[in-house]
Chains A and B, each alone.
Chain A
Amino acid sequence: MGSAPAISPFVIFLASIFTSNMVLSNFLGMCSFISVSSEYKTATGLGKAVLLVMVFTTVINWLLYHYVMVPLGLDYLRYLLFIIVIAATVQIIEMFLDRYLTDLHMKLGIFLPLITVNCAILGISLFMIIRSYSFLQTVLFGIGSGLGWWLAIAALAAIREKMAGNELPPGLAGPAITFIITGIMALAFVGFSGIFMVM
């Protein structure tokens, strides 16, 4: 285990929301970001589900990596083990919500299976290993990244809802304009850079 970088966990938290936002500067979780962002309500639902899964999987993956995989020299299997952990976590969260928090399950249920293949989830587990974050840094990184992803998809969905009635050139409507809006949003988030430094 390399020594953890000397960055305050709180800075990592803020940076992962704004300056190194998962979607807008690391491009993770784009597939669902583009396809599930036409309605604000659905988008925030997915955002919440991503936040929930992200926090659980980073914590479990961090423990698994540092206490099982490193001691046993199984580093090269990390992709395989992380993806199994993610799939299992999603399944367990879904079963738990179904049993105890039926209300929330009704709202988030359909999004949970989608999340298994959301690359943001696997991505942040890989980032925390590559950047050798400590446990506390990892927890805040997970929460911050989830919030950042939620913020980005909610903002995009709100913009798309507002401009739903606008007339566009036929080729531009749909995904093309969504990418261009995202580009402008990313440009706005670039404005935060320099406030916090990570990496």
Chain B
Amino acid sequence: MKKGAVKALFIRNIWDENQVLRQILGICSLLAVTNQLTNSLVMGIGLIFAVALSSLTISALRNYIPHRVRMIAQTLIIAAWVILFDIILKAVLPDISRALGPYVGLIITNCIIMGRAEAFAQMNPPLESLLDGVFAGLGYTIVLVIIAFVRELLGFGTILGVDVNFIGFETWTIMVMPPAAFFLVGVMIWIVNNVVARKQAGGGKRG
């Protein structure tokens, strides 16, 4: 694989076709785990793990899976990797595993993984699919971390559980509650849309 191809894949997945902000996929877990930065990081790692390895497996088996049953085959492959991640998480970080609750299991139905499987791994060789998965997961994780950073800072006055509320501002309870997650994602999509529109209007180079 050429070096330029890797870079193009990277930029496409992180920015041009960011799974969350441009494709509006994988929103459930994004909203649910972002009230604490630690949880979001773990969730991001879990998703990168699952999407990368599922893409790799699906791509490696793409010539052996009959077309008609590919959806269920893909789901089972994804479920197998997610179970593995869940078991590892339970053993290594039991507290975070409990805090994430059902959302680790819900990585299975995260549309990003199915999306990458259908749109990329289905017709590309394993190595490219692996990279595509890693980058797609990274694009998701970046958004997750930005939103979690804002919510944890304003909602609890902490970052990664460390108190940073030096000036002693009143914490915004709303930030910890569900509505704030919706508002932040909405505003973020709005900002990104505007940036993209401006770049295209200016004719400047993208990325």
Contacts and interface: CB of A to CB of B under 8 A. Distances in A.
Given A79-B83, A122-B105, A27 B186 contact: no
B186 A183 contact: yes
Given A126-B106, A186-B179, A117 B83 contact: no
Contacts of A177: 186
Contact of A83 (B28, B75, B177, B185): B75
Contacts of A180: 182-183, 186-187
Contact of B102 (A76, A126, A176): A126
B89 interface: no
Contacts of A27: 27-32, 178, 181
A170 to B, nearest CB: 6
Contacts of A24: 178
Interface string A85-100: 0010000000000000
A190 B178 contact: yes
Nearest to A32: B111
Contacts of B25: 31
Interface in B165-184: 177-183
B183 A79 contact: no
A170 B25 CA distance: 21
A119 B110 contact: yes
A145 interface: no
Nearest to B177: A190
Contacts of A4: none
Contacts of A174: 193
B96 interface: no
B83 A183 contact: no
B82 interface: yes
A80 B79 contact: yes
A175 interface: yes
Given A117-B75, A172-B190, 16 more contacts: A27-B27, A27-B29, A29-B28, A30-B27, A34-B27, A76-B87, A79-B105, A80-B76, A122-B109, A126-B106, A171-B193, A172-B193, A175-B186, A179-B185, A183-B179, A190-B178
Interface of A: 24-31, 34-35, 76-80, 83-84, 87, 116-119, 121-123, 126-127, 130, 169-172, 174-180, 182-184, 186-187, 190
Interface of B: 24-32, 71-72, 75-76, 79-80, 82-83, 86-87, 101-102, 105-106, 108-111, 114, 177-183, 185-187, 189-191, 193-194, 197
